[in-house]
Amino acid sequence: MSSATAVTTTDFDQEVLKSNVPVLIDFWAVWCGPCKMIAPHVDALAAEYAGKVKVFKVNVDEEPDIAGKYGIMSIPTLMFFNEGKLVDQIVGAVPKSAIAAKLEGLL
């Protein structure tokens, strides 16, 4: 079971844009090999930063409107939101430490 929750078009604004804590979104797809490589990192960080950061996953095949709105061209793409604004992103598979460093910068 993933520690990161799926977010959909229906709840995106409330969960991400109106969040009172920083948000990390993992844009992924079932067929994406690099997405599977970073999934354990994203899940671990969701658990480690519980209460301080919200961590969500967006399946680009199931939520094309969200992916399109943010111009997702390659996956995995990790987007970092703070106070309702996109403040940073990482494209591609990266070490857990690189993701954690971005999160630390938002706290």
Domain boundaries, the chain: 5-106
Catalytic status, residue 35:
yes
CATH for the stretch 5-106: 3.40.30.10
What distance in Å separates the CA atoms of residue 18 and residue 77, rounded to the nearest whole number? 21
Quote the pLDDT of residue 2.
62
Tell me which of 35, 55, 58, 93 is the catalytic residue: 35
Q: Which of 32, 53, 75, 93 is catalytic?
A: 32
pLDDT above 50: residue 1: no
Is residue 94 scored above 90 in pLDDT?
yes
- Say whether 10 is catalytic: no
Give the Cα separation of 96 and 101 in Å (integer).
Answer: 9
Instruction: State the average pLDDT over residues 88-107.
Output: 96
What is the four-CA torsion angle of 45, 99, 72, 6, rounded to 10 degrees? 0
Question: What mean pLDDT is predicted for residues 68-90?
Answer: 97
- How many C-beta neighbours within 10 Å does residue 102 have? 18
| The pLDDT value given to residue 4 | 85
